[in-house]
Amino acid sequence: MKREFLKQDWFGPFIVTLLAIVIVGALKPSFLSPFNIQILLLAISVNALVAFSQMVIIAIGQMNLSVGAIGGLAAISFAGMMEIWGLPWPLAAVLSLGIGLFAGLTNGLLCAYTGISAFVITLATLSVFKGINLGITEAQPFYDVPEVVKWLGNATMVGPIPWLVVPFALSAIALWYLLFRLPLGRSVLAVGGNTHAAELSGISVPWIVVFAHSVSGLLAALAGIMLVARLQLGQPSIGDDWLILSFAAPIIGGAILTGGRVSVGGTCCGVAIVAIITQVLVLFNIDPFLVQVVLGGLILWAVSVNRIREVREQRKAAAGAS
């Protein structure tokens, strides 16, 4: 039983996260102050959705380069609809989610029914979505974000836990349930694990691809909307640099780029690790000219800790078998 637990994909990243919290907390007690925890949770909430959005696509063994463009488009639509059309925020949010869903659907349909690699398709739609964003905003932010939305972006629920954690937690649970308990989600992973076998088993691969891309679009849009609440304005540049994070977090969390294997918990830990590293750079007053070096070094540290654990597990397994 205990062994099973150790073998989970999320376990390694989880240990790394704990280790990081303990080390940083010991060196800088202010790291564990309620306000800082709140800041950390805010960062994690939004970034986790970005990572989930990519994770769903990694699950089917593809890549979605347009997550950031979809998120940005949803963000400025959300802010724009409220500012220009004066829509109430829930309606604007739903419509923006719809835009994200539609964008994802478009990606999915193009990938599924043309057979062209998702890499090329989403690269092209990235350009399309970003262009629409710039065309609408002409690079000017939307400023008139209603107070409620600003409040939601910053207010806390209980203790240091911000409200933005709610959409994140709900999405995480929903995704976990989908991918590991529902046949639909298992089909998504099956397609990623071995597309040909999944097809031969009667799974409708195109429909699964469309579904995964739609979910990805929806999650990216949600992240964009949450960022509007957090930044308190509709910046057209939202999403411009999501791409690397969106891959890094799931991969640190144990996902395999060829598909079929992702971990919701691991991805959350991956996001947390990246957030903690970001904080470390600020908390320890790293020379700005060395920030990138330390960042890279810490990423290497995080993944190699996990890797060493894996290797040790394998050794133990090998030793046990003989």
Partner 1 sequence: MSNPVFEATDVTKVFPGVLALDKVGLSLSPGSIHALLGENGAGKSTLIKIMTGVHRPDGGLMSLDGKPFSPHTPRDAISSGVGVVHQERNLIPQFSIAENIFLERLSTTPFKKIDYPNLYAEAQKWLDLLEIDARPETQVDKLNVARMQLVEIAKALSLDTRILLLDEPTASLTQHETETLFGILNRLRQDGASLVFVSHKLEEVQEICDRVTVLRDGHNACESRSLTGLDRQDIVRLMIGRSEQIPQWSQRDNSGHNVALDVQNVATQDGHRNISFQLRKGEVLGLYGLVGSGRTELAKALIGAGKVTSGDILINGEKASISSVADALHNYSIGYVSEDRKGEGLILIHSILENAGITVWKRLMNAIGLVTDGKVESAVDPVLKKLEVRTPSLRQIVGNLSGGNQQKVSVAKWLAANVKILIVDEPTVGVDIKTKAYVHELIRELSDAGTSILLITSDMPEMVTVADLILVMDEFELRGEIVNDRNYDAVSERIMHHIHGSTEEAAE
Partner 2 sequence: ADSSTRVALVPGGPHPYFAAWELAGKDAAKDFGLGAADYKVPQKWELSLQNQMLESLVTQGYNAFLVFPGDPVGTVAIADELAATGAPVMALAGCLKDPSQAVFCMGTDTGNSAYLGTQELLKVLPKGAKIAHFTGFLVDPNTQLRIDAVEKAASEGGAEVVQVIADIDAPEPAEEKINAYLAAHADDVDGIITTAWVPAVVASNALRKIGDKRIKMVGIDHDEVVLGAIKDGYVHGTMLQNPYGQGYLGSYAADRLRSGCTVKDDAPFKSIALTDKFIDSGTVFAGADAVDNYVSSMQNITKEIFDGFEDTYLNCG
Partner 3 sequence: MSQIENENKTGSSAIPKQGRRFDPIQRFLLSNEFGLIVLIVVFAIIFSTVSPMFLSKFSLYALGRTSAVNIMIGFSMMIVIVTGGLNLAVGAIGVCAAMAGGWLMQAVGLHWLPALMGGLAIGGLLGAVNGVLIVRSGLHSFVITLATMSIMFGVMIFLTQAESYREISPAFTAFGRMKLWGVIPPMLLVTIGIGILLWVLFVYSSLGRQILAAGASPAAAELSGIHVDRMIVWCHGLSGVLAGVAGFMLVSRTGAAIPSMAGQLGQDWLLPAFLAPVLGGTLLTGGRVSVLGTLLGGFLVTMLTSGLLLMQVGAFWMQTYLGLLLLLAVLLDLARRSYLSRNKLV
Single out the residue of 62, 9, 2 nearest to residue 176, CA to CA. 9
30 binds, among partner 2, partner 3, partner 1, none (CB under 5 to 8 A by kind): partner 2
Name which of 109 and 299 has its Cβ closer to partner 1: 109
- Mutual orientation of helices 205-231 and 183-193 as an angle, nearest 10°? 110
List 203, 286, 294, 295, residue binding partner 1 (CB under 8 A): 203
240 binds, among partner 2, partner 1, partner 3, none (CB under 5 to 8 A by kind): partner 2
Binding to partner 2 in span 66-125, by CB under 8 A: none
Name which of 110 and 221 has its Cβ closer to partner 3: 110
Name which of 28 and 261 has its Cβ closer to partner 1: 261
User: Total residues at the site for partner 2 (CB under 8 A)?
Assistant: 45
Kindly provide the residue ranges of all beta strands, DSSP E only, lying in 39-152, ordered along the sequence: none
Shortest Cβ 183–partner 1 spacing (Å): 4
147 binds, among partner 2, partner 3, partner 1, none (CB under 5 to 8 A by kind): none
Rounded distance between C-alpha atoms, residue 268 and residue 13, angstroms: 9
Torsion of CA 106, 108, 114, 119, to 10 degrees: 100
Which residues are CB-neighbours of 39 under 8 A, at least 6 positions away? 279
Under DSSP, the state recorded for 141 is P
Rounded distance between C-alpha atoms, residue 109 and residue 211, angstroms: 9
Binding flag, residue 139, partner 2 (CB under 8 A): yes
Binding flag, residue 289, partner 2 (CB under 8 A): yes
Binding flag, residue 168, partner 2 (CB under 8 A): no
Place of tokens 């539609």: 102
Q: Hey, what are 96's tokens?
A: 């923006």
Q: Hey, what are 174's tokens?
A: 């929903």
Name which of 10 and 142 has its Cβ closer to partner 1: 10
Specify the length of the chain in residues: 322
Binding site for partner 2 (CB under 8 A): 28, 30-31, 33, 35-36, 38-40, 42-43, 46-47, 130-131, 134, 138-141, 143, 154, 227, 230-233, 235-238, 240-242, 275, 278-279, 281-283, 285, 288-289, 291-292
